[in-house]
Amino acid sequence: MKKRIVLSGITGKMGKFLLQGFEINPDYEVVAGVALEEDLAAIPPIYADIKTMYEETDFDVFIDFSRPAYAKEACTFMLEHGIPIIVGTTGFCKSDILAIQQLSNVKGVGGIIAPNFAIGIVLLHKYLQLGTKYFKNFAVYEYHHLSKYDNPSGTAHYLANAVGGSARVDEVDIHGFRLPGVLATHTVIMSDESQKIELTHQSNNRYSFEEGVMLALEMIDSLTTVVYGLEQIL
């Protein structure tokens, strides 16, 4: 039986990309979308009001690639009504994530919030954690397309937080750039007086993110709380 999906942010770049992927995947079906402009004649129908969508749609999981303020409200609504969530929207603050996780624990509903769904970003995160054993100085340089609205990005903060909890590291420099012809590139640097390590992950296209979303869908039924970071399900 196909897993029925509601795709929030369906008219955005990532939403359109995921919709195309789901259309050719026999295991999933997007039964409705959510966007600012309603179009109920579309296939699938697009709702502007999430409560009306919920009342009129039978679905199994809610995927969100929208904007932080809306995503927080939408995820809260879904968890209150027992619907698992997969969230790729960036720009959440720590208190937002904590509030969503606390609600998921109360309701016993699972999900994942990931600042980046690319597998390679998880590897960068792990390399940075390992680097805190040997280095004290770290920097993150991130490059995104011109329409990326949060700067620095959620991914940049996610990478910086990999070393931020170490007593050896005082501060992580983060530098964000918005450039034409770029999708997403993240470079992390670890250095001391005698050596430097520089690692770069580049998303050449949105398939790098789709892979992680599909993995999250495969694992969603086994989650009983909302986890943060794709590494939690790898």
> Which residues are marked as active site?
144, 148
Q: Is the peptide bond before 115 cis (omega within 30 degrees of 0)?
A: no
Separation between Cα atoms, residue 186 and residue 141, nearest integer Å? 6
Give the C-alpha separation, 156 to 143, whole Å.
10
Strand pairing report for 3-8 and 61-64: parallel
For β-strands 61-64 and 46-47, DSSP reports them as unpaired
3-state secondary structure of 94: helix
Cβ partners under 8 Å of residue 69, min gap 6: none
Q: Are 42 and 59 in contact (CB under 8 A)?
A: no
